[in-house]
Chain A
Amino acid sequence: EAQVTQNPRYLITVTGKKLTVTCSQNMNHEYMSWYRQDPGLGLRQIYYSMNVEVTDKGDVPEGYKVSRKEKRNFPLILESPSPNQTSLYFCASRRQTLDGFYGYTFGSGTRLTVV
């Protein structure tokens, strides 16, 4: 089944303890992206990657890192999490063509709480 798999689904951690949220897709999509969703603010893009070894900042990249060493994986790294990073996180992938006109496949989300 074509899907984007995020892990973990739920995570409670303490301030300053480094964590990684994994994202993997099995559709050979070039494009992958991370978003956070907060009440009243909606979805906001954190980082995206147009292909292997190509990453770029989205709207709210501060406090996050990403890497794209292989096509299927796009982990989100919080080096020193803070309570304002408590949020619902989504990973998504998409085929990337010259005109870019394909829909997204989203992961199921990761609910992160930083205390």
Chain B
Amino acid sequence: KNEVEQSPQNLTAQEGEFITINCSYSVGISALHWLQQHPGGGIVSLFMLSSGKKKHGRLIATINIQEKHSSLHITASHPRDSAVYICAVPLYGGSQGNLIFGKGTKLSVKP
């Protein structure tokens, strides 16, 4: 069974700072997901990664399959980035149907 660890659990930053959130998992996988949960509760899918790096606006996600580690970076952070960021991986490494989730990183960006 895959285990997913996220760090840090909580993160407070000043507007404009560069943010890094980490996700480690225990079983080899084919792809990893990053999600964003807004303070109101809604969840948005940010990235699905199988290798290398993906970029969307100020968000960058990287994955190292060999090291079983992924990072989510936010450049020039803004108060509207305040949310919980969650990574998810397949439960048993292979099928993308059965996912398990990290407990999330709560980010607060102060103006």
- Chain B contacts to A: CB under 8 angstroms: 30-31, 33, 35, 41-48, 50, 86, 88, 91, 95-104
Contacts and interface: CB of A to CB of B under 8 A. Distances in A.
Nearest to A100: B96
A106 B104 contact: no
Contacts, number: 65
Nearest 10 pairs of A and B residues by beta carbon:
A103-B45, A100-B96, A106-B43, A43-B101, A42-B103, A104-B45, A48-B97, A42-B101, A109-B41, A103-B48
A108 B41 contact: yes
Nearest to B100: A59
A102 B98 contact: no
Interface string A67-107: 00000000000000000000010101000000111111110
